[in-house]
Amino acid sequence: MIAGFVLAGTAGSAVTNRIQHRAAQGVAVDVYSSGLAVFDLRRTEPKARRLLTGPSGLTYGCLHAHFARGVWRTGEYALSGRFARRLRFRWRGVVGPYDGC
């Protein structure tokens, strides 16, 4: 998992509605209030690029997590695709902010 990091919530601009941003290993993710997450792979580091383009294919997405009655519960949402400069993730009925992407 290349972009397996926890997103920290950030105040977004009213113009762009971006509510989260994070980057790791050259992969940047912007999350918007509509639930849209945009993965920017233009600056992906060589090792990360090799892992992303491997034989197992490319899977990307986001998750929600919460602690209830002593147990962590997660909702994980993922799409499969091909490597591209930018990938757009949107899952019907699921909105940001996310706990990870």
pLDDT higher than threshold 50 for residue 11: no
Domain ranges of the chain: 18-89
Start-to-end Cα distance in the chain: 10
Per-residue pLDDT, averaged over 37-48, amounts to 94
pLDDT higher than threshold 70 for residue 10: no
Q: Look up tokens 């294919």; give the residue.
A: 57
**pLDDT tens profile 62-84:** 999 999 999 999 999 999 888 89
Report the amino acid identity of residue 22. R
Q: Is the dihedral angle over the CA atoms 40, 2, 58, 52 positive or is it negative? A: positive
Residue 95's pLDDT is 85
Half-sphere exposure of residue 25, counting CA atoms within 13 Å on the CB side?
13
Contact 89, 39 (CB under 8 A): yes
Report the amino acid identity of residue 80. S
Contact 71, 41 (CB under 8 A): no
**Can you give the pTM of this predicted structure?**
0.77
